[in-house]
Chains A and B, each alone.
Chain A
Amino acid sequence: MAPAFPPWSTRNMITPSLPRKTLAAHNLSKSYGPVRALADVTFDIPSGQAVAIMGPSGSGKSTLLHCLSGILVPDAGEVSLGGESVSGLKDKHRSLLRRRRFGFVFQDGQLLPELPARENVALPLLLTGIPRNRALKTADEWLGKLGLAGMENRRPGELSGGQAQRIAIARALIHEPEVVFADEPTGALDQATGHEVMQILTATTASSGASLVVVTHDDEVARWCQRLIEIRDAMVHDDQLISRSTR
């Protein structure tokens, strides 16, 4: 099933036939002083797959996500995207990689408070040098797609928690990333809003063709993913595909 990019997609313009890429973790280990946060973790995420990462607090989920996305460098092991090393890159190049090819949604505190919604969303495009008018037009389209039409000029403080997370989702997707990373994106929301946000996150990520790695505490959230990886004590405890019937 070929992913359908929206007509304004920058990917259509820049890289019409980008080969889809696998994100691979190979024997990852990471410690903070005496604390072992990751111990020999290995798995692949094929392109387009939505993976939920679950596990008790302190088990190493965030550390894993940060290593996968090139925010942290593992002490041992390697992360690669389409066969190219991520963890081996220099700081600057990992930054560039995150900016260009990854999208991020965090729990909170990530939207810039002085910027109206549309500028928050347009930020990744502006950072790659796309002119303001085009960036804002694309941002408005994304806001419309996420049910936020009419809120383009509101600032984060004037939005509800769920709306703010949808802004963050739009921002994570606007530059057509290959992988979207989300660390407890619904952690600060009530359950109903959380589920709504999770549904939107998985649906929009899927329709843009990106892979999704989402850390969550919520059992039900995993329903919208294709695969569930459970982390316990810094290791992969369980890794299973979620069959369609249960989704």
Chain B
Amino acid sequence: MSVAVTLAPRLAIERIRATKGAGVLDAMAVLAFTVSSWLALTVAGGTWMFFQRWQVEGALSSSQQSGLAVTYVALAGFACALLVIPILGLGGGAARLGARGRVRRLASLRLIGMTSGEVVRISVIETIVQSVVGALLGSAIFVFSLPLWQLLSFQMRPIGIAELLLPWWLWLMVIGALVVLAMASTVLGLRRVTISPLGVARDQTPRRLKRWRLLVVAALVIAFLLYAQFTDIASLIGLVTTVGFLAVVIGSINLVGPWLMQLVARPGARTSNVARLLAARRILDDPRGAWRNVASLAFLGFIAGFVVTMPTTTGDSGPNTFFVHDIQTGVAITLALGLVLAATATLMTQASQVFDRAPESIALDRMGVPATIHLAVRRRLVVVPLAVALGTSVPLGLVLSTVAAVQLESFPVVGVSLLAGTVILGFLLSLGAAEACRPLQDGVLRVQRRRND
């Protein structure tokens, strides 16, 4: 360990000097750690706010209001649950990306006589440095973004800055979890990198996914619609079973998602357009992977579509009115955060693809294939899965809620346009991430690689 500890700072300095591809990957890893800790803190802060409001209110007011306050905590916890997987995924991906950026340098350290254990330890130390830097930056962004939240209100009360501030021990827990996860991902990432680089195509022709997936989901949806027609949501059992059934329907989206990816990509595999062909072939190569990147967005899109039609101006006044409004706000925030996460993940995936596929793109460049093709492929790889995920889940949510749960009095124009706006911004953000890989790609092509001569 001592060797590793003394060497790590020197290695860090060396890397700052060597600002080639690996340096960019490191910077991206730090960026991803920053975004994931910022979002993790934000979500945790929101939950903390509702928790405190419940603690204070619960003591003061009637049991009915206290019950409602608990519901807020539960819903915030639910939002956390929806975001925790993509946040952890981003943190883990950042760690693997950083590890991949330094894998070649680590290999040369092995050549000068370091044991693989020492190499892994050095890498873990570097990951800790990166993730701690990211956590500090993320915390700073979190703090500086606090005033913006004042514009929103929950429970008919604007959000207070102080309400979102986490106590130090909670802050430490959130950050600590991210750093520990990053360490674990580094060890795993290094191992996988040495066996076979992530993100590179499989050797075998992928097997087609079967249509039964769609049939199962369609059957579930129809069953849900029928069930909801004959169930009284007002009763507790009715509500619980309906929500449970809905959860099953949402979960089943995962079954049909990869199949949908394949369905949408297949025509692209029969085209004369080379960029479209390449993008389609890559999606077809791993439709499950393409879906995995957007799965959480699909859930969020579904929920957003579901709640947007809920009427906020029902006859009875009181808590119900602001409750529906608050749910819509909360879902919109969760979706927006999910879109930011997705864009950051896109940036990381695409950036590491640039490096993973360097030999391939250099060969294409030598053959005279214009470099613009890579950007065109990347745009499609970003847009198609997003469009599939949101293009199916949001309408599905809309339809299910209008048919099953809510009697629409008027079409919620404002809500739907806000939702559409959020989704469009999310698309643009992800496209921007794809665009940001352009200098990396150019750099890879400019460096005349020297290979086994």
Shortest A104–chain B CB gap in Å is: 5
Of B200, B281, B282, B368, the residue contacting A98 (CB under 8 A) is: B368
Number of residue pairs across A and B with beta carbons under 8 Å? 89
Of A113, A184, A187, the residue contacting B200 (CB under 8 A) is: A113
Is the Cβ of B368 less than 8 Å from the Cβ of A102?
Answer: yes
Residues of A within 8 A of B360 (CB): 109-110, 112-113
Which B residue's beta carbon lies closest to that of A132? B272
Is the Cβ of B366 less than 8 Å from the Cβ of A155?
Answer: no
Residues of A within 8 A of B201 (CB): 113-114, 155, 157
Residues of A within 8 A of B272 (CB): 126, 129-132, 135
Which B residue's beta carbon lies closest to that of A119? B277
Is the Cβ of B368 less than 8 Å from the Cβ of A96?
Answer: yes
Cβ < 8 Å to A, chain B residues 191-210 = 200-205
Cα–Cα distance between A109 and B451 once the two chains are bound (Å) = 11
Residues of A within 8 A of B452 (CB): 107, 187
Please tell me if B20 contacts chain A, counting CB pairs below 8 Å: no
Of B271, B281, B359, B448, the residue contacting A114 (CB under 8 A) is: B281
Cα–Cα distance between A107 and B452 once the two chains are bound (Å) = 9
Is the Cβ of B368 less than 8 Å from the Cβ of A154?
Answer: no
- Residue among A92, A100, A114 having the largest count of chain B Cβ atoms under 10 Å: A114
Cα–Cα distance between A102 and B369 once the two chains are bound (Å) = 12
Is the Cβ of A62 less than 8 Å from the Cβ of B453?
Answer: yes
Is the Cβ of B284 less than 8 Å from the Cβ of A114?
Answer: yes
Cα–Cα distance between A107 and B360 once the two chains are bound (Å) = 12
Please tell me if B367 contacts chain A, counting CB pairs below 8 Å: yes
Cα–Cα distance between A100 and B368 once the two chains are bound (Å) = 8
- Residue among A57, A66, A96, A115 having the largest count of chain B Cβ atoms under 10 Å: A115
Instruction: Given A97-B368, A102-B368, A154-B205, verify A109-B448 contact (CB < 8 Å).
Output: no
Residues of A within 8 A of B448 (CB): 66, 72
Is the Cβ of B366 less than 8 Å from the Cβ of A114?
Answer: no
Residues of A within 8 A of B363 (CB): 104, 106, 109-110
Cα–Cα distance between A72 and B452 once the two chains are bound (Å) = 18
Cα–Cα distance between A112 and B367 once the two chains are bound (Å) = 13
Please tell me if B105 contacts chain A, counting CB pairs below 8 Å: no
Shortest A159–chain B CB gap in Å is: 10
Is the Cβ of A95 less than 8 Å from the Cβ of B359?
Answer: no
Is the Cβ of B370 less than 8 Å from the Cβ of A57?
Answer: no
| Cβ-closest 5 pairs across A and B | A157-B203, A98-B368, A99-B368, A113-B201, A109-B359
Interface residues of B (CB under 8 A from A): 200-205, 270-272, 274, 277-278, 281-282, 284-285, 359-360, 363-370, 448, 451-453
Known: A57-B453, A155-B204. 19 other contacts (CB 8 A): A96-B368, A98-B366, A98-B367, A98-B368, A104-B366, A107-B451, A107-B452, A110-B363, A114-B282, A115-B277, A115-B278, A126-B277, A127-B369, A131-B272, A132-B270, A132-B271, A157-B203, A157-B204, A158-B204
22 residue pairs of the A-B complex, CB under 8 angstroms, read: A61-B453, A94-B368, A96-B368, A97-B368, A98-B366, A99-B368, A110-B367, A112-B278, A112-B281, A114-B278, A114-B281, A124-B367, A126-B272, A127-B369, A129-B272, A131-B272, A132-B270, A154-B205, A155-B201, A157-B202, A157-B204, A184-B453
